[in-house]
Structure 1
């Protein structure tokens, strides 16, 4: 249907056709007069119909809805569940056939609630919500003091309201999808998705952003004016922020700004950039440049340290490349990578190389050397494959790396004399009986002698125990039914080398290859009801690929060892048995006593082992030119699995272990049951007697070894002690003789050595403090901080202290909580091997950490050697919590490894490059 304007139509129909118009319109058509008249007739009918619709009156009337100018107010009861109202698009009740209705954009349901009222104005098409207002539409959630919804223009407004004191409260909280904004006020269009936000506050990852005016173009682009960025907790009063005027913000991806200035404590700093880019990736990490730090050294000159690049290669692994450069030519490179796959495996690899140059060429203290270290840790989730496992723990490299590295400072690693590594793979075969196989590569390195022992690889295979005499019922009881046997296989390729030949072909020149088979047969049974007895025998066959042949060389006038390549083997066997029991004794003192009873548990045992002589594997060789003096040897000497014994071994062993436990009346009178207290966790005695001892090189009785340990002060103090008691006397030269000490005018036993260690950990919280120093322990140091905390100078952002679970709040200065903890270790060693009767070791070490104030932390690791009469390694450490920043100072004032290190930087990982690090050179 076509609609004409009424006024325009009247003027056209009433207008008289002019003479000129008649000439132009009708003159060319005078030959078709009949057709013209017919067309004019139908046109006249059509015009009359349109005209009559406007001026004629319909007989039937249309009902209308009465409307009032006063808007409707609907009170909302927030205590009822039906307080949520649903509003659909309002449609005019007067429907005109000739007018097509406008489609309202709010085609979904709008849910809202308010504490005071919700006012609907149908004339203005507004919904006003007041006091604790909430509005929900599709993925939009809006909470504010006041909300005004214009459902004709598809817009919503939210703002604050004043409380009874005139203070603005109930700031808007606008949430759409994963984006959340907390401004002073906001206008949002549902159709265009555009918004105008005033004083917005939002969080993106570790960043908190506040802007005076924010224009939201769409779901992915924001433009900000007068913005600040910070990682501080309080966005309205941050301790630092980056101020900029023009910002393009893409949530979850990036922030691009114009001129950006750093402001600290509301004071602008001269640190400014013409533009800035901040990554906002939702991924755990993104690739980026690692900004170096500047330093200087007395021996190496000026330097740029820890410059490099971080590669976020995938969600499963990454790579960090770092480097140092010194103006005297020294440099260092580090490659660090971590990898993980959920329910499969995880690990990390570190490779460090340093080219160290001291002083300048031509000076007497000039030196140059290369050091390196390789660390690899790998573990596999047992759920991925229960029948196989692969693990690795590698720590190898230059023997002097931890002593001379310019990027590691930890006395525990420096004092450690051993580096060790192990890589292993094992698999279990679900056969009957079950079989297992394991391949292992091991490495052991003495950092003092620089000697390296390696096995590449070692093979271990076994078949589970088989009980050949067990009946169909499967019961293993008695001497016969408990007889079992199994098969074990061991193979090794072992060699010894040193630092200079490591990773060179020459290190395999003296490799030893061998294999050993063993079949143990054993049984156990009860004897006289109270005794547990066991017996076993073991057959071994050893294969080797190299043997030796000794001969006297007259020309060289010495004995020559000739290596004989080729397969050879020897076979041995032995027998052993043991008998033991458990004896319980209780000493009761009465229930009215403080100590009501003491329980003593003794576990004595006697063992016997016999190994026959295997003289058939021994030969003789001359040790002088005449050939009259002969000496026995076996061609299997220095073999990978040792050599067969020449003499019989006929030994009886005696062992006695004891535990002492007391029942003590509880100090809490409400408890009726006494509490148990451990007096001695263990007190062990052991010795043995050799029936085949010759009395010259071997003695019948072995020294009595005593060891014990207990825990005191609610298990906070561990006490361990040990002593060696020798029954034989010594002569004037200090050599042991085959005479009992008591027969030589002395006591029954001669205590040749003894030692005692105390370890005490306690804190203000009353609980034992679990300390972790993972990197130090991995480098060979201690897991606690008795030797100081490990300082990885590549990354000093991590705290030297345990992070607090919560914040310390000071209400009054003298009521402030000052947590502290302390670890103490005391060691005493007594030596009397040659009647010297001296204290060879007597030292005390203490490590203490304390919160000096809720924001200041301090710690010290120190000790004193009472024998050397000097202070042992000492480290002082301090840390200041600057809210978003952290300041740390680490100082080793004494000794060969004296140094200091100062650091201040932002805690947040995304701004980790904003730091200042200064350290001294170590005296190495």
Structure 2
């Protein structure tokens, strides 16, 4: 582009003042001549020529005469287009300029001067500076700041073109070639800033730099580190390519130099190499962990491939893919495999094992399809995976005892009955016993409740109108196996399949306004494809059980009813003239009584004869062929029982500490306190069942939760510790015999008014995905370098609020305590079966230093449980972490220091090793 000179468009007229009236005379004559030259007059028709009034007015036509092109009577030029192209305008866009103090044009020098808060806008280009000079002869713009009387340099230029912003000391820009020379510039590139003494702008997309610095520090005047670039080329939004580059820390050069380097620049997820972390392990030697490649396959899904290698021959690899579609679904799929070798070949303790783990999580947006839903939460694999894995990412899952999975699909069909179907596949795996239980799949179907006697309008009232029924069906294919046969054909050999049909018929109504009565009758029909046949082998003296394949079924029914009410009690402590702290206590009691009848279904029972060893006596043993079915077996004993239950709730109204509060504050004293038992009317002995008691409450503004429970048996024990039909109080004991009890408490303490801030969010999320706890009481994953994968996906953590320059006088801290104790006395063992205390906490010693720990103490066995110590140091643009597991079979330590920025995430140092056993 080029700026047009003002002389091209303006003509200056100089008038000299006259001392006579000649000026007015000349002005009048000039104005009269101007009017005569530019005015038009209507011709007066010649006299004697009549006007034809029958002719139509030229304005009254179908097409406006103004739209008809006027054709000259002259002969048109045969050349339709001029062979000489018109000259291109000097300016392609409108130039807008402004200055606060003055805008001055020097016609002799052909320069335009703008001073103080000057700006120029031309297309997508904008220059703002204290002093701007435009040279029309050279088509250049020179911008610089302003130096005041005390030498302060202010209003430095800011050059903006598109999304690229440059802040130099001064700039020279050619409007025709669009090239520029930029002196002492600062420009943001990705997460960092490039500081260059001289920058040459070649065009809109290429910059050449000389003697530049690249840093992600916030203090650009005194950065704590930078990478010195002798020469560099920048393509904004794409890449930075440099020559020799070296790392400087506080202007001190380090030995870290590279002959060339490449910095990718992109706001979107990008593919790239993931640099592994290295370390040493006592059993497996030196290693490289979590190195590989990240593939940004599309905006909807990606793929991360990582590998581990140990010098003793052990190796591992993993693949992880995250996918998402906005307003539809999102999920994550992860597969890990490790081949582990211990000791050396030829030694007696040499061993080789392989472990694997599969994780899949999928969630569907509820708005995508309100009538159907698909979800998945899978965590399966080797039972010993988390216990034997040596990858640092699994540190927080070392104590996992259970792996579970669930994949489900459900759909609701619109209509009056609203039929609903669902398919679910489940998996539960005990990592200690290595037993695996699966359902592949579970089918459930149901229809909505039907009220056959309800009125079509109004509410349902009375016992008849509230009668309703519903139909549901459940089908399962249940598999029980172990790690040895997992995913092998043998796992299907003992699979059980069956269907259960259920039709409940219920109703409810009010009695005397205060009592609620409900009654129900339930009909069940079970289809099974596996039954058994039992017989007694007189030779081997054992019972022989044969599996029978084929369809079979049985039907059962029962009846139950319950009566309940709610009683409110209020204890007021308010008195006239007094304002006590506790103003009232409300006690809510919900007693209920129920009655259940379960008939005996003897027709489904058979017998087999057991002959004594001498062959003289025999006895018949009753059994049902449906023994071991997935939906149970029909009972052969008539049961008629009465159930009793009582629940309590206590709340208090206390005076609010806030004097401006108009109402008292409600405090929960006891969330619940429940008692339940039953009496078997049809039984001949031991008719009372043990009394179950459970309760819970929260204290200290819900920071501490307490849950407790106990079982009280009214019957005594004989000398063989068997229950007898004698009440314990009649046997010389108390009214009830405490057979079991438990108490669990958890307490979260913090000196922050805003509550505990989760500093370990990502580590806890990894624990949950692995099937662990939703806290850090058992430790958290400490794979610090693995965060680079999240950075590649664009999942950088949100910037925290900038801390104040002055640190608070109080040290922020938080503490989480969990206490659990279990007591057993069912057979007079009178022992504490388990007794443990777990705790974790974090202390922020300063704005930059924080320490944390997770541990516990086994009070029964007198020893510390799994312990993890954590240290973190914020080094402004860097971060330093240290994690240490001092003891256990998973003892290790991990040191990491690296740059926070995702672009320079590979500029790090990490050292891992097992702890010294002598410690």
Q: Bigger relative contact order, structure 1 or 2, given CA contacts below 8 A and separation 6+? A: 2
How many angstroms does 1:911 deviate by? Answer: 2.1
Stretches of structure 1 that go unaligned for 5 or more consecutive residues are: 1-62, 69-99
Question: What is the SS of the residue equivalent to 1:479?
Answer: helix
From 848, 851, 863, the counterpart of 2:841 = 848
1:921 aligns with 2:911: no
Q: Deviations over 1:549-584 (max 9, x none)?
A: 111234543221111111111111111111111111
TM-score w.r.t. the length of structure 1 is 0.86
Q: Deviations over 1:252-292 (max 9, x none)?
A: 11111111222222222222222111111232x21111122
Structure 2 equivalent of residue 781 of structure 1: 772
From 453, 457, 467, the counterpart of 1:473 = 457
Within 5 Å, which residues of 2 pair with 1:312-711? 312-408=296-392, 413-591=397-575, 592=578, 593-624=580-611, 626=615, 628-695=618-685, 699-711=686-698
CA contact (8 A) 2:291 2:308 kept: yes
How many angstroms does 1:224 deviate by? Answer: 1.2
User: 2: distance between equivalents of 1:510 and 1:601?
Assistant: 51
TM-score w.r.t. the length of structure 2 is 0.86
* Structure 2 CA distance for partners of 1:176 and 1:631, relative to 1, 3 Å: same
Query: Cα RMSD over matched residues?
Result: 2.4
User: 1: distance between equivalents of 2:725 and 2:394?
Assistant: 48
1:864 aligns with 2:857: yes
How many angstroms does 1:810 deviate by? Answer: 4.2
CA contact (8 A) 2:289 2:391 kept: no
User: 2: distance between equivalents of 1:832 and 1:883?
Assistant: 58
User: 2: distance between equivalents of 1:556 and 1:179?
Assistant: 91
From 740, 744, 766, the counterpart of 2:727 = 740
CA contact (8 A) 1:410 1:788 kept: no
From 728, 741, 744, the counterpart of 1:754 = 741
From 138, 141, 150, the counterpart of 1:165 = 150
Question: What is the SS of the residue equivalent to 1:769?
Answer: coil
How many angstroms does 1:414 deviate by? Answer: 2.6
User: 1: distance between equivalents of 2:98 and 2:559?
Assistant: 88
How many angstroms does 1:189 deviate by? Answer: 2.5
From 232, 249, 260, the counterpart of 2:234 = 249
How many angstroms does 1:647 deviate by? Answer: 0.7
Structure 1 equivalent of residue 3 of structure 2: none
User: 2: distance between equivalents of 1:210 and 1:67?
Assistant: 52
How many angstroms does 1:861 deviate by? Answer: 1.7
User: 1: distance between equivalents of 2:160 and 2:903?
Assistant: 25
Structure 2 equivalent of residue 287 of structure 1: 271
Question: What is the SS of the residue equivalent to 2:121?
Answer: strand
Question: What is the SS of the residue equivalent to 1:910?
Answer: coil
Structure 1 equivalent of residue 189 of structure 2: 204
User: 2: distance between equivalents of 1:239 and 1:683?
Assistant: 60
How many angstroms does 1:639 deviate by? Answer: 0.6
CA contact (8 A) 1:597 1:664 kept: yes
User: 2: distance between equivalents of 1:665 and 1:902?
Assistant: 52
User: 1: distance between equivalents of 2:812 and 2:818?
Assistant: 21
From 5, 9, 12, the counterpart of 1:65 = 12
CA contact (8 A) 1:808 1:817 kept: no
Within 5 Å, which residues of 2 pair with 1:111-122? 111-122=96-107
How many angstroms does 1:830 deviate by? Answer: 2.8
* Structure 2 CA distance for partners of 1:860 and 1:478, relative to 1, 3 Å: same
CA contact (8 A) 2:784 2:881 kept: no
Structure 1 equivalent of residue 800 of structure 2: 805
Structure 2 equivalent of residue 834 of structure 1: 827
User: 1: distance between equivalents of 2:540 and 2:832?
Assistant: 48
CA contact (8 A) 2:877 2:900 kept: yes
Higher mean C-alpha displacement, 109-118 vs 286-295: 109-118
How many angstroms does 1:808 deviate by? Answer: 3.0
How many angstroms does 1:334 deviate by? Answer: 0.7
* Structure 2 CA distance for partners of 1:878 and 1:467, relative to 1, 3 Å: same
User: 2: distance between equivalents of 1:672 and 1:298?
Assistant: 67
Q: Deviations over 1:341-373 (max 9, x none)?
A: 101110101100000001110112211000000
1:902 aligns with 2:895: yes
Stretches of structure 2 that go unaligned for 5 or more consecutive residues are: 1-9, 16-84, 792-796
* Structure 2 CA distance for partners of 1:673 and 1:720, relative to 1, 3 Å: same
Q: Deviations over 1:807-839 (max 9, x none)?
A: 333437xx5453211111122333332334443
* Structure 2 CA distance for partners of 1:409 and 1:735, relative to 1, 3 Å: farther
CA contact (8 A) 1:482 1:523 kept: yes
1:882 aligns with 2:875: yes
Higher mean C-alpha displacement, 367-376 vs 123-132: 123-132
User: 2: distance between equivalents of 1:657 and 1:868?
Assistant: 37
Question: What is the SS of the residue equivalent to 1:546?
Answer: strand
Q: Deviations over 1:733-789 (max 9, x none)?
A: 322211111111111111222222221112121343264411112223211111222
CA contact (8 A) 1:896 1:923 kept: no
How many angstroms does 1:194 deviate by? Answer: 1.4
Structure 2 equivalent of residue 59 of structure 1: none
Structure 2 equivalent of residue 8 of structure 1: none
* Structure 2 CA distance for partners of 1:179 and 1:794, relative to 1, 3 Å: closer
CA contact (8 A) 1:105 1:154 kept: no
Structure 2 equivalent of residue 137 of structure 1: 122
Question: What is the SS of the residue equivalent to 1:465?
Answer: coil
Within 5 Å, which residues of 2 pair with 1:83-162? 105-151=90-136, 153-162=138-147
Structure 1 equivalent of residue 243 of structure 2: 258
Q: Deviations over 1:26-68 (max 9, x none)?
A: xxxxxxxxxxxxxxxxxxxxxxxxxxxxxxxxxxxxx963479
Q: Deviations over 1:489-524 (max 9, x none)?
A: 111111111101111111111111111111111111
Structure 2 equivalent of residue 82 of structure 1: none
* Structure 2 CA distance for partners of 1:562 and 1:101, relative to 1, 3 Å: closer
CA contact (8 A) 2:377 2:407 kept: yes
Higher mean C-alpha displacement, 395-404 vs 193-202: 193-202
Structure 2 equivalent of residue 74 of structure 1: none
Structure 2 equivalent of residue 191 of structure 1: 176
CA contact (8 A) 2:277 2:785 kept: no
CA contact (8 A) 2:301 2:324 kept: yes
CA contact (8 A) 1:606 1:655 kept: yes
CA contact (8 A) 1:335 1:352 kept: yes
Question: What is the SS of the residue equivalent to 1:909?
Answer: coil
CA contact (8 A) 1:407 1:793 kept: no
How many angstroms does 1:149 deviate by? Answer: 2.7
* Structure 2 CA distance for partners of 1:326 and 1:831, relative to 1, 3 Å: same
* Structure 2 CA distance for partners of 1:578 and 1:408, relative to 1, 3 Å: farther
Q: Deviations over 1:185-224 (max 9, x none)?
A: 1122233221111112111221321211111111111111
From 275, 279, 289, the counterpart of 1:305 = 289
CA contact (8 A) 1:758 1:826 kept: yes
Question: What is the SS of the residue equivalent to 2:903?
Answer: helix
CA contact (8 A) 1:761 1:768 kept: no
Structure 2 equivalent of residue 92 of structure 1: none
Question: What is the SS of the residue equivalent to 2:462?
Answer: coil
Aligned residue pairs total 825
